[in-house]
């Protein structure tokens, strides 16, 4: 359990009865005093980081790790740049943006692991729902109707996150200009629901569980999911500075391998209850279990009409999700361009892709992962049951 915002885990940590790995532990790559600092923002797709700790996977790969719960993505980016974090759960476009100095000082960053695909939704306020708005076309009609006395405001998690790209695309597809017809503001994910209820936002595009939390609180309703808007889109990555990857090769590979194993665990249906219960703890996401589980089973409550099953609502490992491949890099570059974040398109050409999305490092970590057994075949089912909160 994370205490406050920080907790360190390494080979000195007492093994618990829920360990899934009984193999001899490798030599520690760092001491507890000099633990790797790994940041995350509280939402459902931080699950691989949280479960890697809960399952003792960091220790399994010889790592001593400090998990650091952060409020939002600007904090994550700045702490990576200023070396307050060694690695972090980050929006897919952030390593590119940091490298190019888009919104921050330039800092060469990269990723060797995509943590997940999809996992987001667009939620609208109760006022819009009461006005009958259920899609972008209806929203456009409402914008035209109220243009003289209101500008609608929508929240996104970060300028270089998929949420910004997805929301802009959804608006544009219905003839709404994302820069002229509405106002888009950046807001930390945990603050979205409160601002929607207070009337400061008319809607938002965010990752789970915040859409489900809004629906459960009767603060809004959902109109689209990212799995349906842009099937296969990359979502979060493991972000590090380039110099960390160069100077701490073994640690970086071990970190990617541990999280890759955690991604596999997060995609297995039989693990959903344990993951949701773990994420619900106050030091991790701290949201209701009912809201957290929807991203895993895909039984999504839109807040209007019956609960609907959304195929592949969140993908943590299947469909080759984890490789930082060229097509995923191209998706990011295209959206950074179309969103207007990079004013000089010449600096954002496709040759940047392989420098930031490092499939070569991923392949080495995948080999390390495949050479390390998941668990002893003699382990009983009781040993991997849900741990008490």
- Closest to 94 measured CA to CA, from 16, 12, 186, 6: 186
Calpha distance 364→72 (Å, rounded): 31
**Cα-atom radius of gyration of the chain, to the nearest Å?**
21
Cβ count near 5 (within 10 Å): 13
116 and 51 in contact (C-beta within 8 Å)? no
pTM, rounded to two decimals: 0.90
Sequence-distant (≥ 6) Cβ neighbours of residue 91 within 8 angstroms: 73, 157, 158, 160, 161, 162, 163, 235, 236, 237
Q: What is the pLDDT of residues 301-352, one digit of tens each?
A: 999 989 999 999 999 999 999 999 999 999 999 999 999 888 777 778 888 9
Give me the pLDDT at residue 339, please: 92
Give me the pLDDT at residue 385, please: 31
Per-residue pLDDT of the chain (389 residues; tens, 9 = 90+): 344 444 555 643 433 333 333 343 455 666 677 899 999 999 999 999 999 999 999 999 999 999 999 999 999 999 999 999 999 999 999 999 999 999 999 999 999 999 999 999 999 999 999 999 999 999 999 999 999 999 999 999 999 999 999 999 999 999 999 999 999 999 999 999 999 999 999 999 999 999 999 999 999 999 999 999 999 999 999 999 999 999 999 999 999 999 999 999 999 999 999 999 999 999 999 999 999 999 999 999 999 989 999 999 999 999 999 999 999 999 999 999 999 888 777 778 888 999 999 999 999 999 999 998 875 433 433 332 323 33
């Amino acid at each position: 359990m994370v205490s406050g915002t920080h907790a360190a885990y390494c080979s000195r940590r007492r093994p618990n009865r829920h360990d899934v790995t009984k193999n001899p532990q490798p030599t520690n790559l760092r001491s507890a005093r000099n633990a790797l600092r790994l940041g995350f923002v509280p939402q459902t797709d931080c699950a691989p980081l949280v479960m890697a700790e809960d399952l003792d996977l960091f220790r399994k790969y010889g790592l001593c790790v400090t998990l650091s719960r952060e409020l939002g993505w600007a904090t994550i980016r700045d702490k990576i740049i200023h070396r307050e974090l060694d690695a972090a759960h980050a929006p897919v476009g952030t390593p590119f943006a940091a490298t190019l100095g888009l919104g921050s000082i330039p800092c060469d960053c990269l990723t060797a692991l995509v943590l997940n695909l999809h996992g987001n939704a667009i939620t609208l306020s109760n006022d819009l729902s009461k006005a009958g708005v259920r899609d972008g076309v209806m929203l456009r009609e409402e914008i035209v109707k109220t243009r003289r006395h209101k500008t609608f405001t929508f929240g996104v998690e970060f300028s270089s996150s998929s949420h910004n790209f997805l929301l802009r695309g959804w608006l544009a597809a219905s003839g709404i200009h994302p820069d002229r017809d509405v106002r888009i503001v950046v807001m930390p994910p945990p603050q979205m629901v409160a601002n929607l209820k207070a009337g400061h936002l008319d809607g938002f595009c965010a990752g789970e569980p915040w859409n489900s939390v809004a629906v459960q609180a009767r603060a809004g309703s959902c109109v689209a999911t990212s799995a349906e808007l842009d099937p296969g889109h990359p979502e979060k990555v493991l972000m590090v500075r380039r110099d960390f990857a160069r100077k701490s090769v073994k640690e970086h590979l071990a970190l990617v391998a541990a999280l890759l194993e955690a991604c596999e665990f997060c995609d297995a249906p039989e693990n959903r209850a344990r993951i949701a219960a773990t994420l619900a703890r106050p030091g991790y996401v701290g949201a209701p279990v009912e809201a957290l589980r929807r991203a895993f089973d895909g039984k999504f409550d839109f807040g209007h009409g019956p609960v609907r099953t959304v195929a592949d609502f969140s993908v943590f490992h299947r469909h080759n999700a984890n490789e930082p491949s060229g097509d995923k890099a191209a998706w990011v570059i295209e959206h950074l361009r179309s969103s207007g974040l990079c004013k000089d398109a010449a600096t954002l050409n496709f040759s940047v892709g392989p420098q930031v999305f490092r499939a070569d490092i991923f392949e080495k970590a995948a080999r390390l992962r495949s050479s390390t057994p998941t668990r002893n075949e003699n382990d009983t089912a009781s040993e991997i049951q849900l741990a008490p909160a």
